Structure 1
Amino acid sequence: MAKTINPENYYTVYYWMSTELGLSGVEKDLYALIYYYYEKMNNECYYSYSQLEQITGTYKNKIIRSLAKLEEGGYIRILTKENGKKYYQITEDKLVGIQTGANADPVF
């Protein structure tokens, strides 16, 4: 059974993820979550499918398809440790020329 997600945890969905990258729905949520790890945690996101289901409120097959779509689009990399555990990283190619994170302009 997957570890329960702390209800006080959070991640930020930035406006540029929609306007600059063209992401929406579950793909945008997953990207935002993985981006948090890019900014704060050495760019390695280790959530299991079950944990990602809890966070996004969707089902496993949608998580798998959405992660594959993000990888195919060049937004993330899906990697595997020697022990078989998968993890996710942001690819920086899509971020070139975009004001990201705390440097992004606020939207009013």
Structure 2
Amino acid sequence: MHRQVYRVGLDGGDLRRVTDDDLEHDLAASPSGRYAVDVASDLATPSVSVLRGLDTGEVLPLERADPTALLATGWTPPERFRALAADGTTPVYGVLHRSASGRRPPLVAG
């Protein structure tokens, strides 16, 4: 499940996908509606920001997050998982965050 960007005419026709990958997109359109800043990422992919022409595609790369220092600490990206609920039928989806050492953090009562 990823947020993608589509464009459609006000008459309901001409549905067109603007983004072309499997990342999660967050778009901020210009007042004219011709351009947008698109920030894309997912659990394992650092954010990439681009200026996008909504009719023409990517116009200009703006910024790319560099995870090098974070990865050097031993951090690993979160992992998606699927499990079954107690009824044995209902799927439950989640995200697992591990500590940098890979050990389970202590439980804190509170």
Where on the TM-score scale, by shorter chain, does this alignment land: which range?
A: under 0.3
TM-score, normalization by structure 2: 0.22
Which has the larger helix fraction?
A: 1
> Which has the higher Rg, Structure 1 or Structure 2?
2
TM-score, normalization by structure 1: 0.22
Which has the larger strand fraction?
A: 2
